[in-house]
Amino acid sequence: MSNFKVGGKTLLEIGYPKSPVFRLAMKVMDEHFSHLTRDEAIDLLKEVLADPDAYVNDALLGPVAEQLLMPVAPKEIPLRETPVPYAVFGADNIADGVIQQLNNAVRLPVAVAGSLMPDAHQGYGLPIGGVLAADNAVIPYGVGVDIGCRMCLSILDLPEQSLLTNDAAYKKQLVNWTKFGAGVEWKQREPDPVLERSEFKEIRFVKNLLDKAAGQLGTSGSGNHFVEWGIATISDVNNEWGLVPGNYVALLSHSGSRGLGAQIAGHYTQVAKDVCPLPQHAGHLAYLDLNTEAGQEYWLAMNLAGDYASACHHLIHKRLITAMGATLLARVENHHNFAWKEMYEGKEVIVHRKGATPAGKGVLGVIPGSMTAPGFIVRGKGEVTSLQSASHGAGRMMSRTQAQKNITDQQMKDVLKEHGVTLIGGGLDEAPGAYKDINTVMAAQSALVEVIGTFVPKVVRMADGGPAED
C-alpha cells in the first residue's frame, strides 16, 4: 500500500494554481486516493487539471474540478508613482479630499490626462466634477451611478408675463405631468424607440431591466433632480437659433437614467472590481478594457442608458409643452455623467465626465445654479487643459447632512420668497445655502465656456428630501 501524500510542491509542479484548490486537492487525495502510487496520483491530478469539466460530476473529485473552474482572482494592480498631467479650475473653493480623489484617478495605469471643475465635490471613484481621459478603458464609477444624468432646456413661445402673473397654471401642470423619487413609475406607459433597442434583447443583464425602464420612462429621480419653469434670457445676438435677444418662458429639467442606469452601474462596477483589483483607496476606480467582452457590454449598456435618459427628458417636456399649449422655439441639452470617445493629442481616448459638462468648441450646454440662483446657457471654447469640459452646476458647499442640520425651514421659506420662487417638494438638503455661489464658479471657468444666456427658476418641482442621484 502506497504512503505517498500529495503536497503543495507537487501541485505546483503539476501546474495547479496557488489557490484554495491546493488544500482541497490534498484533502481529497489523502482521504480517497492514498492507495495510489506516486505516478498514479500525479497522473490522476493531471487529468483533472487538463479537463475539469469531465470531473465536475465525479463523487470524489467533483469539488476539486469545481474549484479549478472558478476564476482565479488577479493580483492587485498598483497605481503609478507619478500622475499624468491634470488641471484644477477654481482650486480655492475645492476641498483637499476632492483633490486627493483626482490624484488617485490620474495614477491609474490607463490614465492619460485629468481635470477638475470648479464645482467639484467628493463622490465615489472620480469626484463629482472630475474629468479623466483613459486609454481604451472605461471606468463604471468614473461615469457614475446615474448614467447619462443630463440637463434639458426648452425655450418656448409663451409670454413672460404669463409665468410671472399666473404661476398657478404652471404649477398645476408640473404636478400633473411629473413624478419624482426612487422607484416611481407611470401607470400609463408610453411607447418610445429607446425601449425597442436591440441591447434589451442581446445583453442578458439588461434584458431583465426592460419592464422597469418602460414604467419609469418620463419620470425623475430624487436628490438634486428637478423640473422647473423659469425665464430664459438670450443675450447673444448671434445665437444658434436666430432668436431675438430677450426674455422667454422656458422649461428646464435635470435627471438621468433612473433604475436602468443604477442597475447597470452597480453590476458592471462589480464586474470591473472582480477583474481589476486596485488598492483599497482607489477601489471604486476599477476599469474595464474595451477589448474585452465585459468592456464592450458596459459600453453598449452605458450608451443605452444615456439615450434612455434623453428620452425621459423629451417625454417630460413634450407633455408639459402640450399641456401649456406652447410651441418649442429652441432646445439645449447635455449629459454630465458619461464617457465619450474623443481625440487628445492625436490619439483616441475615453473621456469620463463625472458631473462635468462637455465644452468642446462651439458645443452648447446648460449649467444650472440652485433653485433660487440663475443657470447659464453656454457655448464651449474647447479648452484642452480641461479636456474640453466645464462644471455641471454650482456644486455642493455643504453635505446633505450638514444642510439639514444648519438650515431651518424658515430660512428656506425666506430665501424662496425673496427670489419669488414657488417650490413643490424639495428638502433642506437641497436648500440654496447648501450650494456654492454659481457666479464664483462661472468666473473660475471663463476660459472654458462663454455665456450666451441665463435661466432664472420661478416654479420648481423636486422630490422630497432624500439621497442624491447625481
Per domain, the residue ranges of the chain are 8-69, 146-257+284-339+354-462
d(CA 67, CA 214): 40
| Position 421 pLDDT exceeds 70 | yes
Identify whether the C-beta of residue 430 lies closer than 8 Å to the C-beta of residue 465. yes
Instruction: Assess whether pLDDT exceeds 60 at residue 96.
Output: yes
Report pLDDT for 123.
86
Residue 422 CA to residue 411 CA, distance in Å, equals 15
Q: 146-257+284-339+354-462: CATH homologous superfamily?
A: tRNA-splicing ligase RtcB (3.90.1860.10)
* CA–CA distance, 373 with 456 (Å, rounded to integer): 7
pLDDT digits (tens, 9 = 90+) for 42-52: 999 999 999 99
- The reported pLDDT for the residue numbered 469 is 45
Q: Which CA distances in Å does 345 have to 133, 135, 289, 338?
A: 11, 12, 21, 21
- From 406, 365, 362, 354, select the one nearest 381 (Cα to Cα): 362
Contact between 116 and 124 (Cβ < 8 Å): no
With a cut of 70, say whether residue 467 has pLDDT above it.
no
Residue 464: predicted pLDDT: 80
Q: Where are the alpha helices (DSSP H) in 277-346?
A: 293-323
What number is the average pLDDT over the span 107-117?
98
Mean pLDDT across the stretch 138-156?
Answer: 96
pTM: 0.84
Report CA dihedral (140, 382, 440, 114) to the nearest 10 degrees: 40
Report the C-alpha gap between 276 and 285 in whole angstroms.
Answer: 9
Question: Looking at residue 465, what is its pLDDT?
Answer: 63
Q: So what's the pLDDT on residue 100?
A: 93
| Residue 3, C-beta contacts closer than 8 angstroms, at least 6 positions apart | 34
pLDDT at position 470 is 47
DSSP 108: S
